[in-house]
Chains A and B, each alone.
Chain A
């Protein structure tokens, strides 16, 4: 009996040394559908190359790209060399490393709608497994239109590729459905082929170092967690602003809008990270259970509450820095009468013991004054004004977690002005992630691809999380879809519509200026 248990115990790599180097990726093949697309060129291949450069890929590693364009392996390698050299961030392109890495790149032309593609894929994967010793481990990455996810999964299943002598996992990009019903339908289609534990829904925001650092900040330090609740926190503001417009994505954006594109996924995931309870361990399911619980605690708005607690916006034309900037309706590919929201703000409440009554204000938009993503936790003011008028203009303590562009944490508090008298002024204590750790941070895609290959789903979104965030957002979408708004309602280069200010004013708050 004891012998049988020992035999079944997983083998441990005795060479691991977590103090000095991180866990490496086991041998595997990554199959990318949509290999000729933008995401592959800009993000996926540069991230995989970077993992090779960091010596984190196994010798038995291969990438098989699939798209409709006819190409040889060598042409694919050449194309990818150009893309990697162009889109690699903060890192050198080393020809020696590339020449080794390029040998692991393969390509086949195929259409997801064609069943022959998957039988060809099976044959090609078998060849690659023999030649590159990938041990039957395969990560399928769907870098395609979301409408093709179900067909791709079905094709993989029908060709018998969802099971094999190694592990099989599938990665999909957002959007995960366009509403709750379609999100459920997509999950059901994926589950016909893959178990939920093998489905990796990527949310690149969760892969950002500073979003992960929120967990370290909250649960690695003893001093903040006691304050992290309704007794001390007055409100939370989450801002994800972009200074650019839709930049040629008008067609796509017109269908999605800011609420679907940002709040339903990225920003509610960030909210969950900020507000979740500590997990017992840092195991993937333990962390994801807590995130999911938090998302399910978000109060679902009733239809008559929606317009009080949410504000859509659309940018109009403006002149910024001496140049004329078109409004959304003037962008190429956009309907001149479009009702699409390029700005969305909402007030959410989390109905649990910790956060009851604390408003979480979330806003996101295009063509705002600057590109910034940050979370501001505003604490209650001191209960008694000891310093009278000298402290009257005192602002409450603010803890700001900056996600981009200057990743870091700032704590704003009051200090006495030097000199006679007792006059107070706010000062800021800053921790700057980039300058405190000069090490290059991995890109979100490096982190997430590595995790998927290792089998760590902590930073991936689970089905119940997707459904919970759709549940929170769908009532807003339903009401907005049935209204005709007087768009455009904010000029490009401003902080959004006036109604967003009124939404906070109803609770006695104002937006802070990032």
Chain B
């Protein structure tokens, strides 16, 4: 592998690619190709990860978030290594005559070449559109030169659930958030469906009026210690309840049947037998939520929390998410108090 790559060369290859795609479409008498782009999506992955997983997530995302996708695959090496290849991903929407295509660039790099990458990626970013950086691994996130590369991104997306120490990671990302970085944590994204259900329950004026009665938040999780998602959820609930005039305390309960690192149940408990609970059971990828509010119960299905589902939500929020930022600050405080 060589030690350098030239962004201009990659850009020329991209340009040639469009010419070829246009010619191919002419030959096959289709109505041409449509180029679509709404952002540059840079993804950092370990070389050991199966590249088909990453590219299939990209493929799923493209119809909704058409982007110039740059996947950087890292190998643990002290040699400075960089190489690239360019290709396209096209799809024909059902019933249409024209293919829609997006550009994809794969860069092979070593840990040692991380400091060189910002200068490679920056010229490859599509002008005037946001750059989203998705860091798939805890190790990459922790590399000393990672902050330098992450500066090119409008938004940095990661998954704190993959980090070994929830308290430490929450403190660290909290620091970045305070410095004005736009962050998206997939551990927080997984909570949207939980939070939506809680919000739904309190659309009822009857229950809304009883919010100040809530005195306890119980969070059940799988494993020995609360995962980052549990801290986020508890922090968000505390903040919302505070707005409604409730002063609640948080208690953590282990759920032996739930897989480690997963949320299993939340309960909001108050006076006069007010009890709201949401419990989730898993059967493979299928997650069913049981919502209980006083005597009423309702069963719902959670959509699968695949990378695609989580990313599509995060990519649709390119700007600051104040609710997340406040929850992050609260979660870091809770984790610190817990330790």
Contacts and interface: CB of A to CB of B under 8 A. Distances in A.
Interface of A: 11, 13-17, 19-21, 23-27, 52-53, 55-60, 94, 96-97, 99-100, 132-133, 135, 405-406, 430, 432, 434-439
Nearest to A95: B301
Contact of B313 (A20, A23, A133, A436): A20
A135 B34 CA distance: 51
Given A14-B211, A19-B317, A132 B200 contact: no
Interface stretch (B114-122, B124-132, B150-158, B237-245): B237-245
Given A21-B192, A94-B301, A55 B243 contact: no
B63 A15 contact: no
B195 A21 contact: yes
Contact of A60 (B91, B198, B204): B204
Contact of A99 (B299, B317, B323): B299
B206 A133 contact: yes
A158 to B, nearest CB: 28
Contact count band on B? 35 or more
Contacts of A13: 199, 202-203, 208
A406 B203 contact: no
| Interface of chain B, main secondary structure | mixed
Closest 9 CB pairs of A and B: A438-B63, A15-B199, A438-B64, A24-B200, A100-B299, A14-B243, A14-B240, A21-B196, A435-B93
A403 B207 CA distance: 41
A26 B205 contact: yes
A249 to B, nearest CB: 26
B192 A20 contact: yes
Nearest to B322: A19
Interface of B: 34, 36, 38, 63-64, 66, 91, 93, 95-96, 98, 100, 192-193, 195-206, 208-209, 211, 240-241, 243-244, 288-289, 291, 293-294, 296-301, 312-313, 317, 321, 323
Contacts of B294: 133
Given A14-B211, A435-B93, A21 B204 contact: no
B100 A435 contact: yes
Given A20-B317, A24-B196, A59-B296, 16 more contacts: A13-B199, A15-B198, A15-B240, A17-B195, A24-B199, A52-B300, A55-B289, A59-B298, A60-B204, A96-B300, A133-B293, A133-B296, A432-B34, A432-B93, A437-B63, A439-B312
B299 A97 contact: yes
Contacts of B291: 59
A437 B323 CA distance: 25
Nearest to B244: A14
B301 A435 contact: no
A53 B202 CA distance: 19
Contacts of A15: 195, 198-199, 202, 240
A26 B63 contact: no
Contacts of B289: 55
Contacts of B95: 405-406
Nearest to B323: A17
Nearest to A13: B202
Given A11-B209, A435-B96, A436-B36, A53 B301 contact: yes
Nearest to B197: A55
A53 B198 CA distance: 16
A406 B323 contact: no
A100 B300 contact: yes
B291 to A, nearest CB: 6
A462 to B, nearest CB: 26
Contacts of A21: 192, 195-196, 199
Contacts of B209: 11
Contacts of A14: 202, 211, 240-241, 243-244
Question: Which has the most chain B C-beta neighbours within 10 Å: A11, A99, A436?
Answer: A436
B35 to A, nearest CB: 11
Contacts of B64: 436-439
Contacts of B196: 20-21, 24, 55
A14 B254 CA distance: 28
Given A59-B291, A132-B296, A26 B100 contact: no
Contact of A58 (B36, B93, B201, B317): B201
Contacts of A132: 296
Contacts of B313: 20
A83 B297 CA distance: 25
Contacts of B240: 14-15
A497 to B, nearest CB: 30
28 contacts: A14-B202, A14-B211, A14-B240, A15-B199, A20-B195, A20-B323, A21-B192, A24-B196, A26-B203, A27-B204, A55-B196, A55-B197, A55-B200, A55-B289, A58-B200, A58-B201, A60-B204, A96-B299, A96-B300, A100-B299, A133-B294, A135-B204, A430-B34, A432-B96, A435-B63, A436-B63, A436-B66, A439-B64
Contacts of A16: 199
Nearest to B201: A59
A236 to B, nearest CB: 26
Contacts of A436: 36, 38, 63-64, 66
B96 A59 contact: no
B297 A59 contact: yes
A14 B248 CA distance: 15
Nearest to B319: A19
A486 to B, nearest CB: 38
Contacts of B241: 14
Contacts of B321: 19-20
Contacts of A96: 288, 299-301
A421 B288 CA distance: 65
A211 to B, nearest CB: 20
Contact of A55 (B206, B244, B300): B300
Contacts of B211: 14
Contacts of B206: 27, 133, 135
A115 B80 CA distance: 86
A57 B199 CA distance: 11
A55 B209 CA distance: 22
Contacts of A97: 299-301
A14 B244 CA distance: 7
Contacts of A20: 192, 195-196, 313, 317, 321, 323
A446 B207 CA distance: 25
Contacts of B91: 435
